[in-house]
Amino acid sequence: AELVPRIRDIELAAPAEYIETLFVGGPKSVPIRYKMA
């Protein structure tokens, strides 16, 4: 079974932390809080 259809509620638990490099930039950590259906 797929996970996405089973998630009822999702929200950020804290601000996202980003990586800053010369080659690739993006999120290092994205803490979330979720509830299953």
Predicted pLDDT of residue 24: 83
Predicted pLDDT of residue 28: 93
Predicted pLDDT of residue 17: 94
Closest of 26, 4, 16 to residue 36, by C-alpha: 4
Predicted pLDDT of residue 1: 62
* pLDDT tens-place values along the chain, 37 residues long: 688 889 999 999 999 999 988 888 889 999 999 999 8
> What is the distance between the alpha carbons of residues 37 and 8, in angstroms, rounded to a whole number?
5
Predicted pLDDT of residue 11: 96
Looking at the whole model, is its pTM more than 0.75?
no
Closest of 32, 27, 37, 29 to residue 3, by C-alpha: 37
Residue 10 near residue 30, CB atoms below 8 Å = no
